[in-house]
């Protein structure tokens, strides 16, 4: 790469559940995209690269609506919720190599009001790489949806390392605490205690309802360009110090892995930290893709914040809530802010590094990470710096 | 009014009663117990024990089964509630073409297949043709006879049946449920590898791909071996055994078709071959699951095309996992003594010597059984051996030959006692392989016996110039027919497990994998009964045999044999692997 790439624009719609956004998924994403482009101080016509989220629109549609007359780079990373962060890596490569000047990465959906969230579980095929395997070998037994797939992994972690429901509860509580400081968070005003968590309904043991991410409507987007071009723009650029992605093995089947806890981020994290020349100890915050509580714990372990098996103790000792030594998901994450497919994690990291996070600002935040998680454990991670 | 003998009725049923007698029978009023005689004869001719309430046809009967009244074929096949036309659950062969009808009717006799079809109703249990009807096409199966059983018993036999049933044709109720039973959960798409995998399941076989080059098993199916890159593989049969690896309990379904199943537990099973499979554990509440619990495959035909492999808890293995070894008796490593609830498990563990017993082991067995006898918490013992070759092949001849050739008779100080003579608690023998010589002598002292299919039974002593003096001469002839007992004693030839079952030497013959679970099933059945009653019952039965004089006689006469020259020559020949040269002295 010729120098570094930066995130120069962020944009979001409002996040909501009932009664729903009232917009199409494309319209939502265009709104967020327009705000991100505006935030960067760019004209929409200057966007010449677009990286849509898998199955949520095509670059052509975005370009035609936004008026991107010079589109020359279009790609989608097929990693589900790991796609936005993985796209940062490709966007950085594209903008520093000259393949594109300004790359837009949008994501958004009507996860609450649209049919997609519920349809995913009602129809007999899934929009994931292992769809046929799931259809032929999982779904006949009612093993039909992500919380169930990951619950069996969480149970193994509990069995092998003594991880407890209380550890998962601590994550759920911390995410809610963060959300109380975020005006955009759907769960603002709805604090929970560990007792509330323990009393909440079991969904798929060991996952309770409060272990699971929200279903919401909303979209977010970022704009990436090279550091060189960023200098000419009005805002404070946030540097993509490194970004990496990886897949578990095998990636299309979740049960026959020799090492059940080795997921995409296990491969990606050493690469990202190595390239950035930093260690987990150096970061001021972590935005961890929190589809379910256990996945937060697992990614903290696999990223190297603590040894494998020690995630439960790490969360309790270090503190991941507001004021903790490692604030995780200061916006509240998928568990308490909104489910924006991981894009709002990037937006929040940028806000923290710009020092624009208001009452939830991490003091002196200079370095942070953001991860993505998708499908059967695909992973991505970016190290971002002020 | 004539009184007919049972023999007359029997001849009537068989159609061999002379015509004048038939006429006489028809002319007169029925004798009052005619029906009962009739039913008694029929009852003796069917292959089931439930009482016949009324014969329907020469092959079909309404019988009282627990609280229900069902239609049964004479072979025992159950067609369900007698108010539902049994024909809807029979196999039906339909002749509706010229060719097929032509096989039955020739020429002008032949009905026109345009308007007529012939249906043959066949028993799914035994293949007997039960009924034939010639009806217009599309006509529902004719419900030939729905008797008003309660009125018949009330008013004709004057002895009402205990429970009363609504007198109504329920065939349509049954048929209307067929549609509801349609399977609507997701099923695999049977293409490519998936088609092959599930086709084996259809045949009751769980098979996984296994690399032909490096031997690695894999699941789910793939084109290549990810370990060695080979494209060569075969579908290899799995043992069907595994352990619970993980699971989740779906308290709320995330797929509409599973809504009625909650809570249900999608479970990951790790097979003995190393691959993991997502499945369901049947007949198991989610809170009974534990990581590591042994399970075994069963097959669930969910549609007429798809059979899903599911699993059930492997009972014997769970029991073994729950057993507590008894260490206080300081038994040798070749004898295990474990306790599991009310059941003691005593295991001979010397498979590399065909579970032959040394004097030391014999003493240990006695100590274990004495402890079992004295421990009030224990009600039943299971005696078994390790491995799948031998249960017990008697005394270890390496050790015993010098003793025998010195005239030592090995044990039984009290000539009126033999092994287990004083154990009045139940002993179940789980015979996992060869049960020979002292092994069979020991089994003769047990109560219930389950044998693996590969087990054999024999008393080979006479082949080596010896006699089985451990009580076999007295016990065996009292347990099985004389000629079989004598054949065992005098020829020294072993018999198969199946033969042992046929002659009544064992209660059950089962596949090896089901041996222990069958033994535990029997143990559990006994443990449900009053322990004092069970024990006393055995004591009466055993003591009433009065075997003691026989035992004394055996000991006395056997001495003559054991001190003979032949008794030295036989074991010597055995040790030297040659034919013995007997002198008869």
CB atoms closer than 10 angstroms to residue A55: 13
- The dihedral sign for the CA sequence A39, A43, A49, A50: positive
Cα–Cα distance for residue pair A167/A154, rounded to 1 Å: 12
In a domain, B10, yes or no: no
Among B293, B318, B343, where does a domain finish?
A: B318
- Report the number of distinct structural domains present in chain B: 3
User: In B113-237, at which residue ranges do the beta strands (DSSP E only) sit?
Assistant: 116-122, 129-136, 207-211, 217-218, 233-237
Q: What's residue A117's pLDDT?
A: 53
**pLDDT score at A74:** 97
Across the range B132-146, mean pLDDT stands at: 90
pLDDT tens digits along A306-349? 999 999 999 999 999 999 999 999 999 999 999 999 999 999 99
Alpha-carbon distance of A385 to A265, in angstroms, equals 19
Whether residues B251 and A143 touch (CB distance < 8 A) is answered with no
Determine, for residues A140 and B219 on separate chains, whether the beta-carbon distance falls below 8 Å.
Answer: no
Contact A122 B256 (CB under 8 A): yes
Is the domain of B398 the same as that of B533?
Answer: yes
- Least confident range from A311-320, B215-224, B278-287: namely B278-287
Among A218-222, B93-97, B321-325, the range of highest mean pLDDT: A218-222
- Dihedral sign, Cα of residue A126, residue A128, residue A132, residue A138: negative
User: Which chain B residues are closer than 8 Å to A248 by Cβ?
Assistant: none
Mean pLDDT by 10 residues, chain A (386 residues): 83 94 96 97 96 95 96 96 97 96 97 68 62 93 94 97 97 97 96 97 96 96 97 93 96 95 97 97 97 97 97 95 96 97 98 96 96 95 96
* A188 vs A20: CA distance, rounded Å: 17
Q: Read off the pLDDT of each residue in B221-235 and give the average, rounded to a whole number.
A: 95
Interface of chain A toward chain B, CB-CB under 8 angstroms: 121-122, 124, 132-133, 135-145, 147-148, 151-153, 155-156, 159, 201-207, 250, 253, 255-256
Instruction: From B318, B339, B363, give the residue that closes a domain.
Output: B318
Residues of B in contact with A255 (CB under 8 A): 245, 268, 276-278
Region B221-234: mean pLDDT is 95
Residue contact A144–B286, C-beta within 8 A: no
pLDDT of residue B315: 65
**Range 238-267 of B in CB contact (< 8 A) with A:** 245-256, 258, 261, 264, 266
Mean residue pLDDT across chain B: 90
Q: What SS3 state is found at B345?
A: strand
The mean pLDDT of B407-412, rounded to a whole number, is 59
Query: In this structure, are B346 and B302 located in the same domain?
Result: no
The per-residue pLDDT for A122 is 46
Strands in B91-214 per DSSP E: 91-95, 116-122, 129-136, 207-211
For position B398, which CATH number holds?
3.90.226.10
Assign B319 a pLDDT band (cuts: 50, 70, 90).
low
Task: Take residue B146 and report the two structure tokens written for it.
Answer: 């729905």
Beta carbons of B266 and A141 less than 8 Å apart: yes
- Please give the residue range of the domain that contains residue B100: 46-179
Whether residue B384 is contained in a domain is answered as yes
Separation between Cα atoms, residue B57 and residue B42, nearest integer Å: 11
Which residue in B has a C-alpha nearest to residue A125's C-alpha?
B186
State the ipTM, two decimals. Answer: 0.93
**B68 min Cα distance to partner chain A (Å):** 34
Which chain A residues are Cβ-neighbours of B302 within 8 angstroms?
140
Find the CB nearest A142 among B187, B255, B306.
Answer: B255
At B164 the pLDDT is: 87
Please indicate, yes or no, if residue B4 is contained in any of the structural domains.
no
Residue appearing with tokens 């006689």: B553
B161 shares its domain with B70:
yes
pLDDT tens digits for range B519-569: 998 998 999 999 999 999 999 999 999 999 999 999 889 888 888 889 888
pLDDT at residue B299, rounded to an integer: 93
CB burial of residue B151 (10 Å; 0-12, 13-18, 19+):
exposed
Taking only residues 14 to 73 of chain B, the set having a beta carbon closer than 8 angstroms to any beta carbon of chain A reads none
Nearest to A159 among B249, B291, B308 (CB): B291
Name all domains of chain A by residue range, CATH numbers in brackets. 5-113+214-385 (3.40.47.10)
Residues in B closer than 8 angstroms to A135, CB to CB, are 186, 188-189
The H or E element spanning position B441 is helix B438-443
Catalytic residue (one of B461, B502, B554, B585)? B461
Put simply, whether B232 touches A (Cβ < 8 Å) is no
Return the closest-CA partner of residue A343 out of A169, A221, A164: A221
Give me the pLDDT at residue B328, please.
80
Task: Judge if B332 and B420 occupy the same domain.
Answer: yes
pLDDT in tens, B40-54: 999 999 988 889 999
Q: Is the peptide bond before A19 cis (omega within 30 degrees of 0)?
A: yes
- The predicted-structure confidence for B252-278, as pLDDT tens digits, reads as follows 988 888 988 989 999 999 999 999 999
CB contact under 8 A, B220 and A153: no
Q: Within this chain, do residues B301 and B350 fall inside the same structural domain, yes or no?
A: no
Residue B461 has pLDDT above 50, yes or no: yes
- Candidate list B296, B441, B514, B554, residue with the active-site label: B441
Are A134 and A140 contacting, i.e. CB atoms less than 8 angstroms apart?
no
Is 60 exceeded by the pLDDT of residue B39?
yes
């Amino acid at each position: 790469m010729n120098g570094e790439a930066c995130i120069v624009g962020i944009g979001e719609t409002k996040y909501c559940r009932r009664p729903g956004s009232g917009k199409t998924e494309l319209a939502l994403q265009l709104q967020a995209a327009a705000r991100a482009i505006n935030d960067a101080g760019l004209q929409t016509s200057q966007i010449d690269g677009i990286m849509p989220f898998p199955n949520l629109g095509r670059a052509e549609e975005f370009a035609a609506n936004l008026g991107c007359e010079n589109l020359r780079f279009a790609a989608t990373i097929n990693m589900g919720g790991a796609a936005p962060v993985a796209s940062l890596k490709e966007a950085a490569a594209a903008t520093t190599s000259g393949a594109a000047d300004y790359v837009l990465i949008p994501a958004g959906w009507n996860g609450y009001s649209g049919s997609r969230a519920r349809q995913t579980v009602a129809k007999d095929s899934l929009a994931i790489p292992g769809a046929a395997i799931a259809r032929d070998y999982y779904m006949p037994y009612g093993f039909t949806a992500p919380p169930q797939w990951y619950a069996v992994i969480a149970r193994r972690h509990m069995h092998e390392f003594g991880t407890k429901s209380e550890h998962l509860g601590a994550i759920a509580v911390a995410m809610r605490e963060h959300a109380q400081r975020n005006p955009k968070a759907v769960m603002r005003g709805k604090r929970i205690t560990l007792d509330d968590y323990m009393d909440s309904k079991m969904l798929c043991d060991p996952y309770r309802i409060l272990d699971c991410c929200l279903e919401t409507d909303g979209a977010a987007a970022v704009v990436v360009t090279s550091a060189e071009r960023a200098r000419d723009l009005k805002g404070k650029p946030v540097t993509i110090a490194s970004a990496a992605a990886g897949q578990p093995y095998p990636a299309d089947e979740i049960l026959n892995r020799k090492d059940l806890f080795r997921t995409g981020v296990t491969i990606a994290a050493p690469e990202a930290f190595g390239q950035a020349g930093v260690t987990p100890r150096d970061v001021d915050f972590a935005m961890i893709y929190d589809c379910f509580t256990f996945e937060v714990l697992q990614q903290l372990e696999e990223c190297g914040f603590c040894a494998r098996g020690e995630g439960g103790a790490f969360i309790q000792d270090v503190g991941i809530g507001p004021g903790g030594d490692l604030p995780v998901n200061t916006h509240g994450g998928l568990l308490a802010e909104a489910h924006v497919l991981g894009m709002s994690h990037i937006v929040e990291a940028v806000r923290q590094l710009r020092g624009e996070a208001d009452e939830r600002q991490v003091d002196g935040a200079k370095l942070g990470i953001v991860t993505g998680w998708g499908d059967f454990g695909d992973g991505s991670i970016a190290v971002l710096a002020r | 009014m004539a009184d007919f003998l049972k023999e007359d009725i029997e001849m009537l049923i068989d159609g061999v009663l002379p015509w004048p007698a038939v006429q006489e029978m028809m002319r007169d009023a029925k004798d009052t117990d005619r029906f009962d005689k009739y039913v008694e004869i029929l009852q003796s001719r069917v292959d089931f024990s439930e009482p016949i309430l009324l014969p329907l046809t020469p092959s079909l009967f309404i019988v009282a089964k627990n609280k229900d009244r069902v239609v049964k074929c004479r072979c025992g096949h159950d067609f369900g509630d007698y108010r539902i036309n049994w024909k809807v659950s029979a196999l039906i062969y339909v002749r509706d073409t010229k060719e097929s009808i032509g096989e039955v009717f020739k020429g002008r006799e032949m009905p026109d297949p345009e308007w007529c079809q012939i249906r043959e109703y066949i028993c799914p249990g035994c293949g007997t043709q039960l009924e034939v009807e010639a009806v217009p096409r599309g006509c529902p199966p004719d419900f030939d006879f729905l008797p008003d059983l309660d009125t018949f018993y009330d008013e004709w036999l004057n002895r009402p049946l205990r429970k009363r049933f609504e007198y109504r044709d329920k065939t349509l109720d049954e048929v209307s449920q067929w549609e509801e039973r349609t399977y609507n959960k997701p099923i695999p798409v049977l293409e490519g590898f998936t088609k092959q995998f599930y086709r084996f399941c259809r045949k009751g076989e769980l098979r996984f791909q296994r690399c032909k080059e490096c031997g690695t098993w894999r699941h789910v199916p793939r084109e290549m071996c990810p370990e060695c890159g080979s494209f060569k593989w075969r579908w290899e049969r799995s043992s069907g055994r595994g352990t619970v690896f993980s699971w989740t309990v779906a308290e709320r379904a995330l797929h509409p078709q599973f809504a009625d199943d909650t809570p249900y537990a999608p479970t990951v099973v790790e097979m003995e071959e190393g691959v993991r499979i997502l499945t369901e554990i049947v007949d198991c509440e989610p809170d009974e699951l534990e990581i590591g619990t042994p399970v075994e495959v069963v097959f669930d035909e969910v549609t007429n095309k798809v059979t899903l492999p599911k699993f059930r808890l492997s009972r014997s293995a769970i029991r073994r996992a729950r057993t507590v070894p008894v260490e206080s008796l300081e038994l040798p490593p070749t004898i295990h003594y474990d306790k599991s609830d009310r059941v003691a498990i005593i295991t001979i563990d010397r498979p590399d010597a065909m579970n032959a017993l040394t004097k030391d082991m014999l003493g240990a067995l006695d100590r274990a059984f004495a402890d079992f006898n004295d421990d009030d918490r224990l009600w039943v013992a299971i005696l078994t051996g390790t491995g799948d070759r031998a249960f017990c092949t008697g005394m270890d001849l390496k050790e015993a030959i010098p003793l025998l050739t010195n005239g030592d008779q090995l044990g039984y100080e009290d000539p009126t006692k033999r092994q287990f003579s004083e154990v009045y608690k139940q002993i179940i023998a789980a015979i996992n392989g060869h049960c020979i010589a002292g092994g069979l002598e020991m089994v003769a002292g047990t109560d219930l016996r389950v044998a693996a299919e590969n087990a054999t039974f024999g008393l080979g002593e006479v082949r080596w110039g010896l006699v089985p003096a451990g009580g076999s001469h007295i016990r065996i002839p009292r347990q099985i027919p004389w000629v079989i007992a004598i054949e065992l004693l005098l020829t020294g030839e072993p018999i198969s497990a199946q033969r042992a079952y046929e002659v009544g030497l064992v209660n059950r013959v089962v596949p090896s994998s089901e041996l222990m679970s069958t033994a535990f099933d029997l143990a559990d059945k006994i443990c449900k009964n009053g322990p004092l009653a069970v024990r006393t019952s055995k004591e009466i039965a055993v003591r009433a045999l009065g075997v003691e004089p026989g035992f004394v006689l055996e000991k006395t006469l056997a001495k003559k044999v054991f001190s003979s020259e032949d008794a030295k020559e036989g074991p010597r020949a055995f040790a030297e692997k040659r034919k013995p040269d007997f002198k008869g002295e």
